[in-house]
Amino acid sequence: RLLAQREQLLRGYRNAYMRPGDHAADLRRVLIMPHRQAAPEQERALEAVDERDLASFAQALVPKLRAEVLLTGNATAAEAEALVRGLPEQLRGEPDALPRHPPLPVAVVPSGKATVLVEDSADTGSRVAAVELYWQLGPAGNEDFKQRVVLDLLEAIITEPLFDTLRTKQQLGYVASCGVRITQQVLGFSIWLLSSKVGPAEICRRVEAFLPEFRQRLVDLPEEDFAQHVCSLAAQKLEPDRTLLSVQDGAWGELQERRCVFDRYLREAVALASVVREDLLRVLDRHLLATAAERRLLVVAVVGGQAKTKKAAELEAFTKDYPGCWQVSSQAEFLAGTTLHESLA
Q: How far apart are CA 91 and CA 75, in angstroms?
A: 21
Q: How far apart are CA 176 and CA 192, in angstroms?
A: 6
- Predicted pLDDT at 95: 61
pTM: 0.93
- Cβ 122 vs Cβ 18: under 8 Å: yes
- Predicted pLDDT at 31: 98
227 by DSSP, 3-state: which?
A: helix
Q: Which helix (H) or strand (E) holds 152?
A: helix 145-162
First to last CA, the chain: 35
Distance of CA 120 to the CA centre of its chain: 21
| Diameter over CA atoms, the chain | 67
Q: Can you give the pLDDT of all 345 residues of the chain as single tens digits?
A: 888 999 999 999 999 999 999 999 999 999 999 999 999 999 999 999 999 999 999 999 888 777 778 888 888 999 988 988 888 876 766 666 665 677 889 999 999 999 999 999 999 999 999 999 999 999 987 778 999 999 999 999 999 999 999 999 999 988 999 999 999 999 999 999 999 999 999 999 999 999 999 999 999 999 999 999 999 999 999 999 999 999 999 999 888 888 889 999 999 999 999 999 999 999 999 999 999 999 999 999 999 999 999 999 999 999 999 999 999 999 999 999 999 998 876
Q: How far apart are CA 94 and CA 257, in angstroms?
A: 20
Q: How far apart are CA 86 and CA 79, in angstroms?
A: 11
Count CB neighbours of 255 within 10 A: 14
- Cβ 300 vs Cβ 132: under 8 Å: yes
Domains in the chain (CATH in brackets) are 109-338 (3.30.830.10)
